[in-house]
Amino acid sequence: MCLILEDHDGDEIQDVLAQLQEHLVKLEDATTEVAEEPKLGGELMLSEKMNRLQLKQKLRELTRAPKQLSNYDKARAALIQYLQDVFDKYLRHPSSVPFYELFFFNNLSIRQVLLGSHRSAIHTALNNPSYYFHCDCCKLTDDGRISASMPDISILYKLHLEYGKLINLYDWLQAFVTIVDPYIDSGEEDAENRPVSPEVQYPFVNCRPDYQIFDHLTSSWRVL
């Protein structure tokens, strides 16, 4: 703070700088002093012989006695009080600045418009990509339906919603294949038992970094 004030001119600022440096010097001197243990007089009070009731009363009086502050505590309290006075004098409330509503607001409706909800926006984009793409190929009449024309990450996300907390990657891959592989519905024999082609497996693997960002998968998963 002292370095900031040194770059500014003006009698008031220089006065604040001088007083601040004076408080800092007092605080530094107080830290180097050897603090003498205060003689509370309680040692003398407790040195006398007394019964249990008298001892209890003396201890109660000692707890109520004001604590003696050291020079460091006094210097620190004075510095804090001085800073409080300076801030109250020179700092302005944000509401006193024109157009402060652009940066500081407590209206919930304005906050929803300016800040938005990232989680709901991501869910809408993945669950219904036509909401942002404005295309007919991804347009769904039912939220539960999955179209092969949707982006791969949207297909995987909608399949992910059908599972619980745990997802079997092999079942997830097979469900993905039944949607994007054109040979599944071609009527060919043993189409479902045929190994997954690299062209179909690649989009599934390629979505791994995105789902790691969503915390749906850990970094140790792999596709067979």
pLDDT in tens, 158-169: 888 887 677 777
Mean pLDDT for the stretch of residues 186-207: 69
Is residue 78 situated within a structural domain?
yes
Is residue 21 situated within a structural domain?
yes
Where a domain ends, among 101, 118, 139?
A: 101
92, 160: one domain = no
pLDDT grade for 80, boundaries at 50, 70 and 90? very high
Is residue 9 situated within a structural domain?
yes
63, 137: one domain = no
Range of the domain at 67: 2-101
198, 149: one domain = yes
11, 86: one domain = yes
88, 143: one domain = no
94, 138: one domain = no
pLDDT grade for 223, boundaries at 50, 70 and 90? very low
In this prediction, residue 86 carries a pLDDT of 87
73, 135: one domain = no
136, 173: one domain = yes
End-to-end CA distance of the chain: give it in Å, rounded.
60
91, 25: one domain = yes
Mean pLDDT for the stretch of residues 145-164: 83
143, 97: one domain = no
Q: How many domains does the chain have?
A: 2
Is residue 208 situated within a structural domain?
yes
6, 97: one domain = yes
Is residue 23 situated within a structural domain?
yes
In this prediction, residue 215 carries a pLDDT of 57
